[in-house]
Structure 1
């Protein structure tokens, strides 16, 4: 058997990290959320997390995630500016004071903008803090095959009782997405909730014709995937072999080190 590196799966596949390096980046993203790193360190980390996504050839997904993150970042900065201006101008910049009847509000327009700034800030910060996890998760699960993931988990000596459920979960979401597209096509064929924003205009129909069939089908999908995994012999005791060859290379270690440095500096108060 010829050892084919996992970094490339075709002439245009792009540069891909080892699955263990991808899991490490996902761990860093969760630690970034846990330690609540400041905005500067978070932006640097997000930029570093986006680079492997672009290097793997996922330009469309990378650009979408980058635009979404920096839009949320800009919205949060605008919210801070509006809130500080409202508080400094004596127009009730505090959201609690505005909910208290507006007794100390001198300018209604400034108070309204401050309220909008508070709400926008809450939404932008809440979603933005989840973006590093979404970026690393999207990179890990869209560029890693099932065999590569199983091989990486076994290299890390992960028990089979964890490997099999993880494999089922990875295959579960693409199957559910396929079922969703089939349901939407069937609805469009019958003229039910047709159009791009039809689900927003008709929420009751969305609940009846989409969510209910998906929930009912999810049980059967998870059962079939579990049976398929056990049929392939993943539950057999003993040492397993894998046809997929993975190995850590220099750019895997370099990526892990470069992505770790900003978070360590931010936690230490240097950055």
Structure 2
């Protein structure tokens, strides 16, 4: 029986992982202003290629606001307020490329595409299975967090600043206990799904998702590698 292949879209998942690795390592190496601009431009460009227009716009807007506040607003202030503004701006600019790249990796590719890409790289199942579970686990816990918050909102215990300030310990208990319990259930279900799909068998696997490195993917990997070398060595 012939099975129709599903295209993976414009970009290969491996090029997105290259951007994520470059963003994480570059952010922790310390960036100059030109390096910050290039790194964020790379993340925003990949987000646009993935057709996430609003996400790309908000990422660029947040970076622009933080940059101009740090450049023009903070020098006009003094004392504790200046330190708070500078700390907030530097922290947001530090984590923004990593969050943008993390969104690209987890929200713009299906888990089947990653498995197909890792299989083409001839990685062992001991590596493919943990990576696949990790990449699938992140979007799932985001959905569970929203469901817990929605359930509490129906009972008048929504996660708001008012409730957090009035009863912080109760809010922590009401949010974390069901969320952590549900996470343990999700892990068990994912483990059972992996076993049911035969990932523990040493046999060649096929995939509905067809992934292939294109010229654009190689260009993205080259730019990510060049940016990482620039940030680490200069």
Asked whether the two chains share a fold, i.e. TM above 0.5, the reply is yes
State the alpha-carbon separation in 1 of the partners of residues 161 and 119 from structure 2: 44
Give the structure 2 partner of residue 6 of structure 1. 8
TM-score w.r.t. the length of structure 1 is: 0.75
Distance 1:62 1:133, change over 3 A: same
**5+ residue gaps in structure 1?**
8-15, 83-109
**5+ residue gaps in structure 2?**
none
1:70 counterpart (64, 88, 107): 64
Greater share of helix: 2
Distance 1:208 1:143, change over 3 A: same
1:30 counterpart (24, 40, 52): 24
> 1:41, CA displacement in angstroms?
1.3
State the alpha-carbon separation in 2 of the partners of residues 175 and 52 from structure 1: 23
2:214 counterpart (244, 249, 259): 249
Q: How many residues align?
A: 231
Q: Secondary structure at the match of 2:43?
A: helix
Give the structure 2 partner of residue 185 of structure 1. 150
What is the Cα-based RMSD across aligned positions, in Å?
2.5
Distance 1:233 1:263, change over 3 A: closer
Confirm whether residue 50 of structure 1 aligns to residue 44 of structure 2.
Answer: yes
Q: Is the 8 A contact 1:18 1:252 kept in 2?
A: yes
Give the structure 2 partner of residue 21 of structure 1. 15
2:84 counterpart (119, 130, 133): 119
Distance 1:193 1:141, change over 3 A: closer
Q: Secondary structure at the match of 1:24?
A: helix
Which of 1 and 2 has greater Rg? 1
Confirm whether residue 147 of structure 1 aligns to residue 106 of structure 2.
Answer: no
State the alpha-carbon separation in 2 of the partners of residues 266 and 172 from structure 1: 31
